[in-house]
Amino acid sequence: MFDGDPKQLTSFPKKLVVALLPDESASTVIQNNKQLEAYLESQLDKEVELFVSTDLGMIGKFFAEAIEHTDEAPIEAARAVGASELQTIWHSILPQVFPQMADVSFYRWEYNFRASMVLGAVGAGGIGFEIIGALRLLKYEEVSALLIVVLVMVTLVDALSNFLRQKFIEVFMPDCIDRQFLEACPQLKVIAGALRGYDNFDVIACSQRKIWFTIVPELLAAPTAELTVGLLINLARRMLEGDDLVRSGQFQGWRPQLYSAGLQHQTLGIVGMGQLGKALAQRLGGFDLNLFYYDPIPLEPEREKVWKIERLPWKSLLKQSKYLVLNVSLQPETFHLMNYDTIAKMQPGSYLINPCRGSVVDEEAVSQAISSGHLAGYGADVFEMEDWARTDRPHQIPPSLLNNRAATFFTPHLGSAVDQVRYEIATEAAKNILQVIDGKVPQGKVNYFDS
């Protein structure tokens, strides 16, 4: 199996996890043969765990695509000095292939490909290579070394996933984990969410099975607030319509057209003054808006003074706001917070902005309000179709909203889609996993149980 004396592997610290990838005809023999595992332990003087996989799945396609884009120079150089096939694979091919798979291939998976579990990740929001990269950067090799012995190279990543998914998984916003899923994962210890809102996950069921559920609470507010300002400006200044006009070929220079209400001196209401609401209020200070907010818990008077923002009762905020921005989590009490009744209480000709959770808004009610002229516009980065935990979840955004480019502006859930932010989120999720591996309580926990 090995290219040379197995004793060369003694430099790997602590426990070795050996992934064997035979063809299907040999898999049963190897899986049932503990002699190889015992032999490796005796030779290496280390604990060895052996696992086998013949699953191909979608990974083979991405692996093959990555192979096609490798630089042949280091491969030829390895062969020129007499390197074996395994040495060539290990030192000249894999270092090129994995970064390509991590940076390119997996991000092309569709968000609704929920059935996959790759490298411990469910779904494909950012997929597991984010966390694997972060674990590597955090010197995960000090906890456990992974030795990959490649017999059938194209199935390499699938085999690794068979081990990792039993111990921990990383999840993203498009994923959904329920009681039935957890029952199929008896060895699961921690679910690390690369997210802040966790309404798609059954945390109570996790607690009952003594599975930690962790989130990243501190990193998503700033980039989401930044995007919210973009939604607000684009909708308020009719920028999408302007872009369409320029691209149509009909634009011949300035004309008195596409006038709007603008933002200066307008009244803007913020619903919910948690981390996202606070981050948004800070960023709106330079727009010369009249700022108000509603939250059951008031801000400190000093902060209200600095941000020039005033707390109003809920109904008053609805009535007075030209622009209403939603910044609440999805809970039973906030489900369809903006419905036919509450939208009717809004100021005629006002705008609604939703960067928080799709099901906080009844999209059909919004569509009807825009059609009647009561709402001037709707901007959103999130949609009801994304809320997987709902048994009555709609499977598409209402076509009446999608087709109304003059009164809507949408982005595809880009709230935290910033390179450095995503890196930091993956790193924090990895830290939570490592803390559980080390027998500690994870810092990002949202559930509690007696261990």
Catalytic residues, which ones? Answer: 357, 386, 413
Q: How big, in percent rounded to 5, are the helix, strand and coil portions of the chain?
A: 45, 15, 40
Which of 377, 336, 380 lies closest to 355, judged by CA? Answer: 380
Neighbours of 397 (CB within 10 A): 18
Do 18 and 49 touch, CB atoms closer than 8 A?
yes
Local structure of 261: helix, strand or coil: coil
The three state secondary structure string of 124-192 is CCCCCHHHHHHHHHCCHHHCEEEEEECCCHHHHHHHHHHHHHHHEEEECCCCCECHHHHHCCCCCCEEE
- Is the backbone of residue 348 left (phi > 0), alpha (psi -120 to 50) or beta? beta
Cα gap 422→108, rounded to integer Å: 16
Cα gap 247→279, rounded to integer Å: 34
Which residues does 140 contact at the CB level (< 8 Å), separation at least 6? 430, 434
Report the b/e string of 201-236 with b at 16+ CB within 10 A: bbbebbbebebbbbbbeebbbbbbbbbbbbbbebbb
- Is the backbone of residue 286 left (phi > 0), alpha (psi -120 to 50) or beta? alpha
Say which DSSP state 102 is in: I
Crossing angle between the packed helical segments 156-167 and 59-68, to the nearest 10 degrees:
130
Place of tokens 């941000």: 307
Cα gap 147→267, rounded to integer Å: 60
| 439-to-143, 280, 432, 436 alpha-carbon distances in Å | 12, 38, 11, 5
Going by their DSSP bridges, the two strands 144-149 and 212-214 should be labelled as: unpaired
